[in-house]
Amino acid sequence: MTSAPSAAQTGEGGPPAGSFPDHVAIIMDGNGRWAKSRNLPRAVGHERGVEALRRTVEAAQDVGLKNLTVYSFSTENWRRPVSEVNALFGLLKAYVKRDLDRLAREGVRVRILGTRKGLPDDIRELVDRAEARTEANSKFNLCIAFNYGGREEIVRAVQKAAKSLSDGSLNPDTLDEESFEQFLDTSEVPDPDIVIRTSGEYRLSNFLIWQAAYAELVFMDVLWPDFGKEHLIEAIETFQKRERRFGGLASGAA
């Protein structure tokens, strides 16, 4: 976790200085329910969800965050109707095509977490291009978990570690949690301090299950298309009120 940011870092209307998160991760949930409550097609809910993503990326930069990870498409989402899966792919393409140049200019590094296996060629080319286009940036990390599952990520990491053990580049006697993390998709990003889930659901849904071991969980009763800067600030303020012990005792405990 980083030290408290200055007033300039928190931005106008940002959360108060103090214990400040370095990395916020968000499970963007509720697009379908948002649309259903308005008698609109689910695709419209996903479109509004992309608008919420744009707002949130901007808000995260405004308040002084350095790392933001969002859960966009899980390995389990393939079970949805083909039409909805294709619509989600289309939204990713639209977001990257519209926003990639701006993100690159703003110093944002885009990382795509998850497996490329099973992705259509045009989507795989798109995510590769987004990563390559922003690879040299370091001002802000935007990680998009796409075709991602926490358990699947760990299995892939184990496979990579096994290959390193087999070719002798990794010593089994020195393999520990820290060295294992180099094989995860998030190897260059700190673990999340906060995991936010919108829509009032209370579960991680296979999201960052290694990295979120000691994250503070914040469940918010707001559907993702309605999420904005005020909700991000609320989550950060909730985090700032908590005491993180990482398995130890509370401060002042005997």
The C-alpha atoms of residue 65 and residue 94 are separated, in whole angstroms, by 25
227's tokens: 């999420």
| Residue 33 backbone class (left: φ over 0; alpha: ψ -120 to 50; beta: rest) | alpha
Q: Is residue 216 within a helix (H) or strand (E), and if so which, with residue range?
A: strand 216-219
* Terminal-residue alpha carbon distance, the chain: 26
Residue of 22, 77, 137, 226 marked active site: 77
Please say if 99 is a catalytic residue.
no
Helix (H, G, I), strand (E, B) or coil at 143: strand
Residue of 29, 185, 191, 193 marked active site: 29
Please say if 226 is a catalytic residue.
no
Phi and psi, residue 71, nearest 5°? -95, 110
Instruction: Say if residue 121 is exposed, middle or buried (CB neighbours under 10 Å; 0-12, 13-18, 19+).
Output: exposed
Residue (of 64, 5, 25) closest to 192 by Cα position: 25
Residue (of 22, 17, 51, 15) closest to 232 by Cα position: 15
DSSP code, position 246: T
Q: Is residue 110 within a helix (H) or strand (E), and if so which, with residue range?
A: strand 108-113
102's tokens: 């701006």
Question: Which residues are annotated as catalytic?
Answer: 29, 77
